[in-house]
Amino acid sequence: MDNDEIFLEKLGYKQELKRELTSFSNFAVSFTIISILTGINSLFTFGLTNGGPVGLVWGWTLVALFSGLVSLSMAEICSAYPTSGGLYFWSAQLAGKQHAPVYSWITGWFNLIGQVATTAGIDFGLATFILNVIASNNSDFVPVAWHNLLLYLAILVIHGLLNTFANKIVKFLCDVSVWWHIFGTLIIVITVLAGAPSRESAGFVFTTFNKDPTAGLPSDAYIFFIGLLTAQYTFTGFDASAHMTEETKNAAVAGPVGIVLSVVISFVAGLFYIVGLLFAMPDITSTIQGGLPAIFANSVGQVGSNLLSVIVMGAMFFAGMSSLTANSRMMFAFARDGALPFSNVWHTINPDTKTPVASVWLGVLLCFVLGLPVLSDPVRALSSGVPVAFTAITSIAVIGLYISYVIPVFLRLTISRDRFVPGPFHLGKFSPVVGWISVLWVAFITVLFVLPTSLPNDLNSATFTWENNLNYTGPMVVFFTLLFMAWWAVDARRWFKGPKVIERSVSDMEFPKVVEQQPSQATVTSAI
């Protein structure tokens, strides 16, 4: 056995997945799921409405800073426990034997729900984007909700087939995706700036604040913080590098570096993309009405807009594919420890491809279920927006994932502050400061993103509707939390004991020599 397999056995698991990913491939998975061309395009007009250019530029920078701190805290723990279970395994180890079951249960379910919602949001967004591009080229075609659902299902099935039969192709496409995003961003920005009939000023891009005067929100500061959703939604999914560690060589270093670098490079590329779009856009009102295609068409016409849209669709396709990959690995690990119904089914490996095929298709099924609310009005035109129920379920991706991100960080700072054994990637004396800032930031955004995005003065007025004015994210988060905690209280606490290797104390863990010369803290910091 090589050093990675030896270390995995010391953590209590045998090597089942095929370990063939390089450090670059591990980073590529997280970078692809973050996908600036998916997150920014999906919520660019939302950001323009809630904060305008100031919210997009400086909100992006603010969120990237705090998301980077969260990623550093996670990377430190990943280096100590590089397993597919990732966050929920970390929580179990850091909580100690007595509290391991409940903490790993909570972390695992928040992470699973957030991952499924993220995959669903990406693929549903891709289906919507494709239909809107078709409609922009054919005035006689009016896409409706059931069209969206069928195309969404087709995309999910394609991603499922790729993850079932073409693991090497998925790895190759993840690597390609990095360059697709980087060069695609460059091509889009250069093209729209070169073709724009006029360009906005630097003062407009960096100092203009915009809001919807009909929203009734209490202050400009409130509006700015609500607009942070554009950036925060984009900076999700970087835990994928942790879930892929059992398939990565030199995992104790490659996994944590992949987590951090995916955030850093996404910040730089995303800021470049946002600033370029703001300089090239015609005006705020027409951009809000027409979305990103309005900026494309304004600069290069309809044919050019179609070509640029292909770049965006490719990026979204890669993001959905990689998200399903990471999702299936997490469910495989969760089922390995008996935490899912019918765990024996989902914890199976294809003997030829060495991939968790059953978990792949469980992910496809759960994502499709999240899309079913569109059938409440199957002939509703896409131009009027997707049903609010689906939007709310997708919105909990941010809250679900980030809660699961910081639970092990919190445990590292409290219960295990004196017995945590770091891996080769660690923050040294900065670990507590970075960790507590991360915990406080997640507490802040958890409250922030359940607040209403519009507040009509009169609840009885004709302009108020529960569908358009109520933020369903909070109720949905509470509902799912009560659901899996009720299961815990009634039944699961009797049989779920956390990861099946939790018998050993963290202090008894012996960290093997994973690389010939372990990098120092200064070396790791310099690499980042």
pLDDT of residue 503: 41
pLDDT of residue 97: 81
pLDDT digits (tens, 9 = 90+) for 206-222: 999 988 776 667 788 98
Do residues 8 and 246 lie in contact, with contact meaning Cβ atoms separated by under 8 Å?
A: yes
pLDDT class of 148 with cuts at 50, 70, 90: confident
Residue 28 CA to residue 261 CA, distance in Å, equals 10
> What is the share, in percent, of the chain residues with pLDDT greater than 90?
29
Structure tokens at 402: 């980030």
CA 48 to chain centre: 22
Whether pLDDT at 68 is above 70? yes
Estimate the crossing angle of helix 167-195 against helix 251-280, to 10 degrees: 30
Q: How large is the average pLDDT for residues 305-334?
A: 88
pLDDT digits (tens, 9 = 90+) for 149-177: 899 999 999 999 988 887 778 878 878 88
Whether pLDDT at 525 is above 50? no
Whether pLDDT at 298 is above 70? yes
pLDDT of residue 482: 92
Residue 223 CA to residue 479 CA, distance in Å, equals 27
DSSP letters spanning 26-68: HHHHHHHHH-HHHHHHHHHHHHHHTTHHHHHHHHHHHHHHHHH
Flag the least confident range among 44-58, 104-118, 189-203, 493-507.
493-507
Q: First-to-last CA distance in the chain?
A: 30
> What is the share, in percent, of the chain residues with pLDDT greater than 70?
84
CB neighbourhood size of 200 (10 A):
17
DSSP letters spanning 413-451: HTTTTTT----SS--GGGHHHHHHHHHHHHHHHHHHTTS
Flag the least confident range among 53-67, 89-103, 436-450, 457-471.
457-471
Q: Residue 384 carries which DSSP code? A: G
Give the residue from 410, 247, 325 showing the smallest Cα distance to 30.
325
Q: How large is the average pLDDT for residues 295-324?
A: 90
Q: Where in the chain are the domains? A: 3-70+115-384+440-469
CA distances for 108 relative to 96, 330, 408, angstroms: 16, 9, 11
Q: How large is the average pLDDT for residues 470-479?
A: 76
Residue 423 CA to residue 513 CA, distance in Å, equals 10
208: helix, strand or coil: coil
Do residues 356 and 364 lie in contact, with contact meaning Cβ atoms separated by under 8 Å?
A: no
pLDDT digits (tens, 9 = 90+) for 32-52: 888 888 888 888 888 888 899
CB neighbourhood size of 65 (10 A):
13
pLDDT of residue 89: 85
Fold of the 3-70+115-384+440-469 domain: Amino acid/polyamine transporter I (1.20.1740)
Beta-bridged to residue 144, according to DSSP, are: 381
Which residues have a Cβ under 8 Å from the Cβ of 429 and sit 6 or more positions away?
none
pLDDT class of 528 with cuts at 50, 70, 90: very low
248: helix, strand or coil: strand
Q: How high does pLDDT run on average in the chain?
A: 82
pLDDT of residue 361: 92
pLDDT class of 505 with cuts at 50, 70, 90: very low
Q: Residue 17 carries which DSSP code? A: S
pLDDT of residue 251: 82
Residue 17 CA to residue 350 CA, distance in Å, equals 9
Estimate the crossing angle of helix 87-137 against helix 36-49, to 10 degrees: 70
Whether pLDDT at 477 is above 90? no
pTM exceeding the 0.85 threshold for the entire prediction: no
pLDDT digits (tens, 9 = 90+) for 229-269: 889 988 988 888 887 777 788 888 888 999 999 999 999 99
pLDDT digits (tens, 9 = 90+) for 323-376: 898 888 888 888 887 888 888 887 788 777 777 889 999 999 998 988 887 776
pLDDT of residue 387: 55
Flag the least confident range among 100-114, 224-238, 383-397, 447-461.
383-397
Do residues 466 and 423 lie in contact, with contact meaning Cβ atoms separated by under 8 Å?
A: no
Whether pLDDT at 471 is above 70? no
Beta-bridged to residue 248, according to DSSP, are: 21
Structure tokens at 207: 């100092």
pLDDT of residue 419: 86
Per DSSP, which regions of 323-436 are E strands? none
pLDDT class of 384 with cuts at 50, 70, 90: low
Could you give phi then psi for residue 263, rounded to 5 degrees? -75, -45
What angle is formed at CA 251 by the lines to CA 246 and CA 257, rounded to 5 degrees? 125
Q: How large is the average pLDDT for residues 267-279?
A: 94
Whether pLDDT at 517 is above 60? no
pLDDT digits (tens, 9 = 90+) for 1-27: 567 677 667 766 666 666 777 888 888
Q: Tokens 């997707």, residue? A: 386
Structure tokens at 475: 């109720």
Give the residue from 382, 416, 389 showing the smallest Cα distance to 471.
389
Residue 81 CA to residue 242 CA, distance in Å, equals 9
Whether pLDDT at 297 is above 70? yes
Whether pLDDT at 456 is above 70? no
**383 burial via Cβ count (<10 Å: 0-12, 13-18, 19+):** exposed
Residue 329 CA to residue 356 CA, distance in Å, equals 7
25: number of CA atoms within 13 Å, CB side? 22
